[in-house]
């Protein structure tokens, strides 16, 4: 079990910290047998906190942006039984609260947080004190943002707060010059404290990626870090970080819940491995979800919690459930929460991929407001899901492959000047699969649903696209384990003609006149058949007029 946990966490800190090329190089060197386990974790911590101590082999490699240092520290905790005491002592020394420089303490107005900060030295915060309060504005901002985060995540939404009894009676926060935006650690706590963790925030937030906070990038980066790292503290109280990389998915969702307008993760951590750039990759691709998959919880919250920015019942239920189900597959825990809210994992995930189709350039926006799916679907910078195919003319036959469990393929169907599209779908046997369809109408509404599939994942549907601006076919694998799967499909035009089978002349009476016209149509005699005639001529509904329809029609006339 421990080895599995370490593999998953390693994938998290190497594959899902995105631009963290140094971490990737460290992991690759370990896999080649060039590093011991101790050297591996030491170098990861160095990359995060003390880059000048990195092994010379990694000194020239760009570290890149590390969003959150917490996954490295979760990995360190899991590895401790295998590490030498020397390695543990080095890392614990690096994680002790800094004492460099002249230091001050500030307590947040909300009464929950104690901030220890430096006014001189490498870890010093910006000195500007525009209100002449004697406390740097930077520290006051952090206090305001964390007080608000506590109010939203704990007091309003009901997520567990970190205990902060004992010690100094406050939840402790400090500032450091470091690589990540911030981290949550179990090291360096007050003696006698029950808080389990403390937070460390960057001491300037200069040099990070742009975000959309109207107050500027520095404040925006600090806001989302407060929401993100505090959610890690809550997770630790709930279930001791038993969710592996899923803790990053959840903490990134918390940024949206607390500070929706900042969109830091959307701009800086999408585009590689997320459900838009790689929809065919499973939600747990690489072992778990992570930063780039936060849209999954955003969907759950917006869909089942009415997109509230004060409560999040379905996710609160999930975390309450995790307290007593720490060894359960996380997707099974999500399924449990969805069941409590009148859905199921297959149903919800199938709807989720439809939401993902209508984002970015395909978002349905009227007067700046999203009309379908995510409230941010059309925000500048929101990703557009990658298409596997776009079909402009019909008939067409094609196939898709490589769909992982909890993954999909996006197929756009252009509908210009078409009446109906008839889809025949043939999914891979033995797989939990759905074939989703969606139509964006010209009145900016979206109709969607699924093709009824039989036990072999085969089914068909006729889509009315007379008033459509586009349509979609989205094969999706809804099972939580597996490898990769595929499906084939064909699409042809359908006239949507309505008829009474056998009433060829549309007179309301089935008689010999209809029989004469049917024979003429089959033989190609007389005027070409119109849509209604062709529809009615298929008396036995086998797809085409033929001698069997003549026999069926004679039986109808003789009745």
Q: 526-537 pLDDT, tens per residue?
A: 888 887 888 889
CATH number of 384-494: 2.60.120.380
- Nearest C-alpha neighbor of 18 from the set 235, 331, 273: 273
Find tokens 């999706």 and name the residue: 476
Write the pLDDT tens digit of every residue in 396-436.
Answer: 999 999 999 999 999 999 999 999 999 999 999 999 999 99
Helices (H), 217-372: 217-239, 246-258, 264-268, 295-304, 313-323, 330-340, 345-357
Q: Tell me if residue 375 falls in helix, strand or coil.
A: coil
pLDDT score at 166 = 60
Domain ranges (residues) in the chain: 2-94, 384-494, 512-558
Q: Which residues of the chain, if any, have pLDDT below 70?
A: 1-20, 164-167, 193
Instruction: Indicate the pairing of strand 458-464 with strand 420-427.
Output: antiparallel
- Nearest C-alpha neighbor of 54 from the set 16, 19, 20, 3: 20
pTM summary value? 0.87
Backbone angles phi, psi at 361, to 5 degrees: -70, -15
Task: Provide the token pair at 90.
Answer: 């080095």
pLDDT score at 165 = 58
Which element (helix H / strand E) includes 212? Answer: none
One DSSP character per residue, 68-114 reads BSHHHHHHHHHHGGGS-HHHHHHHHHHHSPP--SSEEEEE-TTSSEE
Distance set, CA 309 to CA 110, 151, 152, 375, 387 (Å) = 20, 11, 8, 12, 32
pLDDT score at 16 = 40
pLDDT score at 2 = 42
Find tokens 């909890």 and name the residue: 406
Task: Provide the token pair at 147.
Answer: 């007080």
The answer to whether the Cα torsion of 455, 475, 282, 364 is positive or negative is negative
The answer to whether the Cα torsion of 32, 38, 40, 41 is positive or negative is positive
- CA–CA gap between residue 307 and residue 313 (Å, rounded): 11
pLDDT score at 85 = 97
CB contact at 8 A, 175 and 118: yes
Q: DSSP secondary-structure letter at 61?
A: S
E strand spans, 331-483:
365-366, 369-370, 389-391, 396-404, 407-408, 411-413, 420-427, 433-441, 446-450, 458-464, 468-477
- Nearest C-alpha neighbor of 539 from the set 554, 528, 529, 526: 554
CB count in 10 Å sphere of residue 125? 24
Backbone angles phi, psi at 469, to 5 degrees: -100, -25
CB count in 10 Å sphere of residue 317? 18
């Amino acid at each position: 079990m421990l080895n599995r946990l370490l593999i998953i966490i390693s994938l998290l800190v190497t594959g899902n910290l995105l631009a963290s090329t140094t971490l990737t190089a460290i992991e690759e060197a370990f896999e080649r047998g060039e590093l011991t386990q101790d050297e591996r974790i030491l170098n990861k911590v160095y990359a995060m906190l003390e880059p000048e101590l990195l092994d010379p082999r990694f000194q020239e490699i760009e570290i890149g942006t590390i969003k959150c240092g917490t996954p490295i520290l979760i990995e360190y905790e899991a590895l401790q039984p295998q590490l030498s005491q020397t390695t543990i002592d080095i890392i614990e020394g690096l994680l002790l609260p800094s004492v460099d420089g002249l230091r001050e303490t500030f307590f947040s107005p909300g009464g929950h947080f104690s901030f220890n900060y430096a006014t001189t030295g490498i870890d010093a915060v910006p000195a500007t004190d525009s209100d002449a309060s004697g406390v740097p504005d930077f520290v006051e901002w952090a206090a305001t943002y964390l007080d608000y985060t506590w109010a939203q995540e704990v007091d309003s939404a009901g997520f567990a707060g970190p205990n902060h009894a004992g010690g100094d009676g406050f939840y402790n926060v400090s500032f450091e010059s470091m690589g990540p935006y911030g981290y949550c650690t179990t090291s360096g706590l007050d003696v006698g404290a029950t808080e389990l963790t403390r937070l460390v925030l960057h001491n300037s937030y200069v040099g990070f990626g742009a975000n959309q906070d109207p107050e500027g990038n520095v404040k925006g980066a600090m806001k989302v870090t407060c929401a993100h790292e505090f959610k890690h503290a809550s997770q630790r109280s709930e279930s001791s970080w038993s969710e592996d990389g899923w803790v990053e998915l959840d903490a990134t969702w918390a940024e949206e819940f607390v500070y929706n307008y900042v969109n830091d993760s959307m701009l800086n951590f999408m585009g590689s491995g997320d459900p838009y750039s790689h929809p065919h990759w499973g939600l747990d691709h690489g072992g778990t979800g992570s930063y780039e998959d936060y849209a999954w919880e955003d969907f759950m919250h917006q869909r089942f919690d009415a997109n509230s920015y004060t409560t999040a019942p379905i996710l609160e239920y999930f975390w309450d459930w995790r307290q007593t189900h720490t060894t359960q597959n996380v997707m099974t825990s999500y399924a449990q929460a969805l069941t409590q809210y009148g859905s199921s994992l297959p149903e919800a995930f199938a709807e989720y991929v439809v939401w993902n189709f209508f984002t970015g350039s395909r978002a349905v926006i009227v007067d700046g407001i999203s009309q379908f799916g995510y409230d941010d679907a059309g925000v500048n910078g929101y990703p557009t899901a990658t298409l596997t195919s776009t079909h402009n003319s019909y008939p067409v036959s094609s196939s898709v492959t490589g769909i992982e469990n909890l993954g999909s393929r996006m197929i756009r169907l252009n509908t210009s000047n078409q009446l109906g599209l008839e889809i025949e779908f043939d999914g891979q046997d033995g797989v939990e699969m759905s074939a989703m369809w969606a139509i964006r109408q010209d009145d900016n509404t979206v109709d969607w649903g699924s093709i009824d599939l039989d036990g072999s994942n085969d089914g068909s549907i006729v889509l009315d696209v007379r008033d459509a601006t586009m349509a979609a076919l989205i094969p999706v694998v809804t099972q939580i384990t597996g490898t990769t799967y595929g499906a084939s499909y064909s699409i042809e035009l359908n006239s949507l003609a309505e008829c009474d089978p056998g009433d060829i002349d549309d007179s309301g009476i089935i008689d010999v006149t209809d029989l004469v016209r049917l024979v003429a149509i089959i033989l190609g005699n007389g005027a070409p058949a119109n849509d209604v005639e062709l529809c009615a001529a298929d008396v036995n509904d086998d797809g085409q007029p033929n001698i069997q329809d003549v026999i069926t029609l004679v039986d109808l006339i003789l009745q």
